[in-house]
């Protein structure tokens, strides 16, 4: 489980979450099929973003988009508490 420690500075406005699909695509596409050195930082970013989305975003679809991006890069780790919102996203 990956749960970054974030403060109020990490709170994202609702408009940010509306842009996540494009953001994930822009981060993931260039590193698909690349080595761990290229994929690793993007996977870490997506893990952090997913953990933040699970706390702040009310959209299951947004969480699923981020998780799908991580899976495309080979990351199978679970993000978030087992009893939190969007547990089965």
Q: Give residue-wise pLDDT tens across range 15-69.
A: 999 999 999 999 999 999 999 999 999 999 999 999 999 999 989 999 999 999 9
Start-to-end C-alpha separation, the chain: 15
Instruction: Tell me, yes or no, whether 7 lies in a domain.
Output: no
In the chain, the number of structural domains is: 1
Instruction: Tell me, yes or no, whether 11 lies in a domain.
Output: no
Residue 32: CB partners within 8 Å, gap ≥ 6? Answer: 72, 73
In the prediction, which pLDDT does 13 show? 85
Instruction: Tell me, yes or no, whether 53 lies in a domain.
Output: yes
Instruction: Tell me, yes or no, whether 47 lies in a domain.
Output: yes
In the prediction, which pLDDT does 86 show? 52
pLDDT exceeds 70 at position 87: no
Instruction: Tell me, yes or no, whether 28 lies in a domain.
Output: no
Instruction: Tell me, yes or no, whether 16 lies in a domain.
Output: no
Instruction: Tell me, yes or no, whether 30 lies in a domain.
Output: no
Range of the domain at 62: 35-79
pLDDT exceeds 80 at position 3: no
User: 12 pLDDT band (50/70/90 cuts)?
Assistant: confident
């Amino acid at each position: 489980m990956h749960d970054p420690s974030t403060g109020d500075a990490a709170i994202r406005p609702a408009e940010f979450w509306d842009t996540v699909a494009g953001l994930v695509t822009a981060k993931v596409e260039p590193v698909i099929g690349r080595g761990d050195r290229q994929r690793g930082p993007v996977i870490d970013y997506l893990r952090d973003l997913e953990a933040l989305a699970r706390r702040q975003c009310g959209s299951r679809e947004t969480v699923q988009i981020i998780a799908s991006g991580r899976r495309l890069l080979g990351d199978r780790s679970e993000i978030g508490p087992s009893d939190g919102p969007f547990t089965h996203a």
